[in-house]
Chain A
Amino acid sequence: MNSTADLLKCEDLTKKFGKDTALDNISFSLDPGHIVGLLGPNGAGKTTLIKMAAGLLTPTSGAILIDGDAPGVYSKGIVSYLPERTYLNESMTPDQTIKFFSDFYEDFDPERAGEMMESLNVNRTKPVKNLSKGTKEKLQLILVMSRKARLYLLDEPIGGVDPAARDYILNTILQNYEEDATVIISTHLIADVEQILDEVLFLQDGKLILQESVDTIREERGLSVDETFREVFRC
């Protein structure tokens, strides 16, 4: 709809819950075509930021814009969001869930979803409630990545799956995001994801303390992003 280069833009974005400030005057923008790590200790505001981009929370002050517009009907059509908690209908099977998503989202590719389920050994005919925690996570990520979205918001996408599936999932993200799409991944498993990131955002106490390219961090500090994180947030 809009031709602005910023796919996601935050301007003095602030979110308060009562007296608590979850996000404190954050400003940054992201271009299309990047995989961005959203990193920070527990309670830094990662999930709040993602929820605001997904349109589930509204700013207390400042603005968040998706492709030039405040989150709403238009943005929901181009944003694919993976929440940290399961939202699937537990009595539906994965196959029924795929059908449901196909009906719901214009940009959903059921074939892509089917292929990923085969590769990740997701049982397609058992009700979701009978699947293990890790399998449910895989299913959710498959559904989210099967949309041809412009902005993917992945809140802790690999926390509960085994390392082999993790590799496959990261590869799935690499291969399935559209070239002009941007993927935001919030995670604590930095060492596992940093190879696929090209940029990171460090949040601390609701403030943005670093936005930098991964290779610049490595070049200037001689440290991996994981090591940089441990240094910046040393307890």
Chain B
Amino acid sequence: MKWQIDSDRPVYKQLIEQTEQAIVSGIFSPGERLPSVRDLAAEAGVNPNTMQRALAELERSGILYSQRTSGRFITDDEEMIDKLRYQKAEEDARTFFDNMKKLDLSADEIARLLRAIFEEDKDEKSASNE
């Protein structure tokens, strides 16, 4: 997967977010075995200790689990993954909403804007399917 580390926030937090993102968007499937800490760290270009910290935290939240001998796995609890997906969507929506408020847009205007983008996206998809 593609990792993108920004410079101003703790690296382990970004690793947690991006791993969660990869899980909810299906890059990692439920029950899938994760590569080793070292391989993941090399792929992300980060320190293995930092990657270890991020994975340990994801384990604590139950999204990952480890088996002593065979490594670390994505949870196969799809309900939990769905919950995480909704939680991430809500976070993003809140950020979006805050940004729109800063631009002084009303709820109606925001809704209209979203609908327009949604329609555009639908058109593009049907056009590319033809």
Residues of A that sit less than 8 Å from B by CB? 33-35, 167, 170-171, 174-175, 179, 191, 194-198, 214-215, 218-219, 222-224, 226-227
Q: How far is the CA of A80 from the CA of B105 in the complex (A)?
A: 60
- Which residues of A lie under 8 Å from residue B50 when comparing CB positions? 198, 214-215
9 A-B pairs with the lowest CB-CB distances in the bound complex, closest first:
A224-B7, A215-B10, A198-B47, A218-B10, A198-B49, A219-B10, A174-B42, A175-B42, A195-B46
Q: Does the CB pair A222–B8 fall under 8 Å?
A: yes
Q: Does B11 contact A (CB under 8 A)?
A: yes
Q: Does the CB pair B47–A218 fall under 8 Å?
A: no
Name A's interface SS: helix
Q: Does the CB pair A224–B47 fall under 8 Å?
A: no
Name A174's closest neighbour in chain B (CB-CB): B42
Which single member of B7, B10, B13, B45 contacts A196 (CB below 8 Å)? Answer: B45
Chain A nearest Cβ from B2, distance in angstroms: 14
Name A218's closest neighbour in chain B (CB-CB): B10
Contact status of A227 and B8, CB under 8 A, knowing A171-B42, A174-B41, A175-B38: yes
- Which residues of B lie under 8 Å from residue A197 when comparing CB positions? 47
- Which residues of B lie under 8 Å from residue A179 when comparing CB positions? 38, 48
Q: Does the CB pair B8–A195 fall under 8 Å?
A: no
How does the 8 Å CB contact mask read for B46-61 relative to A, with 1 for contact and 0 for none? 1111100100000000
Which single member of B8, B41, B42 contacts A224 (CB below 8 Å)? Answer: B8
Name B6's closest neighbour in chain A (CB-CB): A224
Q: Does B9 contact A (CB under 8 A)?
A: yes
Q: How far is the CA of A34 from the CA of B50 in the complex (A)?
A: 10
Q: Does the CB pair B8–A215 fall under 8 Å?
A: no
Q: Does the CB pair A174–B10 fall under 8 Å?
A: no
Q: Which of A197, A198, A219 has the most CB of B within 10 A?
A: A198
Q: How far is the CA of A46 from the CA of B53 in the complex (A)?
A: 29
Contact status of A171 and B45, CB under 8 A, knowing A198-B50, A215-B50: yes
Q: How far is the CA of A219 from the CA of B11 in the complex (A)?
A: 9
- Which residues of A lie under 8 Å from residue B7 when comparing CB positions? 191, 194, 224, 226-227
Q: Does the CB pair A218–B9 fall under 8 Å?
A: yes
